[in-house]
Structure 1
Amino acid sequence: MVGRERLCVELGVLRSVWDDWCARRGLTAGEGVRQLVVTTIRDDAAGEPGSILFDLPRPVAGEPRTRIEIRLTIAERRAVERRATAMGLHSNRWIVSLIRAQMTGEPQLGEPELHALAVSNQRLAEISRLLGQLARADSAEPVNRDLRSEWVELRSRVDEHLRTTAAIIRANLDRWSR
């Protein structure tokens, strides 16, 4: 007969907070603790802090897919549909993105993020063209004061692009890792 391995921890005032945290995730208190323990042990073994990441190959267009059935309450289904629509996705695509984000830790971009990144990349292309013009002008003659003001503006545009891109990716990772 195999004995049960049990860990008893006195949580004190944290117990109600822990129960609420688990309830929001649809877990029992024991399931929540087991997930934390597994995550911590795997992260320590892999040298990765805070999450379980799987080494999954990137999906390939045309690769066969399998179906999985999940059952949601009507309210949950409506909430999924609202979130998916807000991101410009169908509910199935939203669920797949949620799963992939959890398993890989990589961003799963929706339509608003893709559009924002496209605009940001167009700005980066403009910056690249300006840099080329400035480099050619600088090689022809020493940098004058007008060019210096353009460099300052250019730096501000590069910084804006970096902030925009970082915010999009951060928001996306935050969304999918909840």
Structure 2
Amino acid sequence: MGDLPTPKWRRPRQITVDLRGLHEPWLAWCKAQSLKPSDAVRRAIAKLVSGPVPAQSSLMVLVAERPTIRHEIALTASEQGRVAAMAEADGLSITKWIVALIRARLTGTAQFGQEELEALAQSNLQMLAIGRNLNALAKAANMRGGAGAQEARDIRDLEAEIRSHVAKVSNLMTGNAARWRLHGE
């Protein structure tokens, strides 16, 4: 039997399966797991083709994206109180705190509160100042010549490590504010 043509209404990556007598048990299982049937199928296929379900670190942040999809969640009064307190402690609104929590789980990257961002910014400023001081020391050592030349190279290597560290922290801070689109969507 040859392959049937793909109907125009069907997406190219979509699969249609006749579950026959398994349809109702499948829906019941998905409901018990609090999963949409399509999400459960994707998880099962991911497990079959790549071993364990891909971990959060397998998701990659690609580009900034404006959020456009809204979801409503229902919390108990005690959950709401705890979330509000934690969001306030991090200097975030409840919505931003929940989004940061989701992003941290999806991407495996740090999500910072306002106080943490300010502390990181201060840390970077101090690290850059240390780097400038090291540069001045390297110039002085270089002028001495001889053993001072090796000392100057060591200091410049240390300064390069500081610049690299500052760049990594800056990237984390920038990424913290970005909207994410995940690899594989």
TM-score bracket, normalised by the shorter chain, equals 0.5 to 0.7
Partner of 1:106: 109
State the partner residue of 1:59.
64
Secondary structure (helix, strand or coil) at the match of 1:57 reads strand
String of CA shifts for 1:89-114, please: whole Å, max 9, x gaps.
01000001111111111111111221
Aligned to 2:50: 45
3-state SS, counterpart of residue 75 of structure 2: coil
Change (3 A) 1:122 1:80: same
1:131 corresponds in structure 2 to: 134
| Runs of 5+ unmatched residues, structure 1 | 6-27, 170-178
Aligned-pair Cα RMSD in Å: 4.4
Which protein shows a greater Rg?
A: 2
8 A contact 1:42–1:52 mirrored in 2: no
Aligned residue identity for 1:108: Q
Structure with larger RCO (C-alpha < 8 A, sep 6+): 2
d(CA) in 1 for partners of 2:125, 2:83:
32
Equivalent in 67, 73, 77 of residue 70 of structure 1: 73
**Whole-Å separation in 2 of the counterparts to 1:82 and 1:52:** 29
User: Does structure 2 retain, via aligned residues, the 8 Å contact 1:81–1:91?
Assistant: yes
Gaps of 5+ in 2: 1-19, 27-31, 35-39, 174-185
- Taking the TM superposition and a 5 Å limit, the aligned residue runs for 1:162-177 are none
Paired residues in the alignment total 130
Between the aligned residues of both structures, percent identity stands at 32
